[in-house]
Amino acid sequence: MGMVVKEEPFKKLVNQGMIQGRSSFVYRVKGTNKFVSFGLRKQYETQRIHVDINFVNNDVLDLEAFKTWQAEFADAEFELEDGKYICGHEVEKMSKSLYNVQNPDDLIEKYGADTLRLYEMFLGPIEQAKPWDTKGIEGVFRFLRKFWNLSHDADNNFSISDEKANADELKTLHKTIKKIEDDIERFSFNTGVSAFMICVNELAEQKCNKREILEPLSVLLAPYAPHIAEEIWSLLGNANSVTEATFPIFEEKFVKENNFKYPVSFNGKMRFMIELPIDMSKEDIEKSVLESKDAQKWIDGKTIRKVIVVPKRIVNIVVG
**What mean pLDDT comes out for the span 235-239?**
96
CATH 3.10.20.590 in the chain, residue ranges: 259-319
Handedness of CA 141, 89, 1, 195 (dihedral sign): positive
Instruction: Measure CA 158 to chain center.
Output: 25
Q: Which residue has the higher pLDDT, 104 or 248?
A: 248
What is the distance between the alpha carbons of residues 230 and 119, in angstroms, rounded to a whole number?
19
Given this model, what pLDDT does residue 315 score? 96
Given this model, what pLDDT does residue 2 score? 35
Given this model, what pLDDT does residue 9 score? 42
Instruction: Measure CA 81 to chain center.
Output: 27
Given this model, what pLDDT does residue 13 score? 40
- At 19, is the pLDDT very low, low, confident or very high (cuts 50, 70, 90)? low
**What mean pLDDT comes out for the span 215-236?**
97
Give pTM, 2 decimals.
Answer: 0.69
Mean pLDDT over all residues of the chain?
90
Given this model, what pLDDT does residue 7 score? 41
**What mean pLDDT comes out for the span 132-155?**
91
* Whether pLDDT at 182 is above 90: yes
Given this model, what pLDDT does residue 132 score? 75
pLDDT digits (tens, 9 = 90+) for 27-76: 999 999 999 999 999 999 999 999 999 999 889 999 999 999 999 999 99
Is residue 219 a contact partner of residue 242, using CB atoms and an 8 Å limit? yes
* CATH numeric code, 259-319: 3.10.20.590
pLDDT digits (tens, 9 = 90+) for 126-139: 777 777 777 778 89
Fold of 137-253: Isoleucyl-tRNA Synthetase; Domain 1 (1.10.730)
**What mean pLDDT comes out for the span 284-291?**
94
Given this model, what pLDDT does residue 301 score? 85
- At 192, is the pLDDT very low, low, confident or very high (cuts 50, 70, 90)? very high
**What mean pLDDT comes out for the span 266-283?**
93
CATH 1.10.730.10 in the chain, residue ranges: 137-253
Share of the chain above pLDDT 90, in %: 78
pLDDT digits (tens, 9 = 90+) for 208-224: 999 999 999 999 999 99
- At 258, is the pLDDT very low, low, confident or very high (cuts 50, 70, 90)? confident
Is residue 220 a contact partner of residue 248, using CB atoms and an 8 Å limit? yes
**Of 192, 198, 193, 197, whose CA–CA distance to 179 is shortest?**
192
Given this model, what pLDDT does residue 103 score? 83
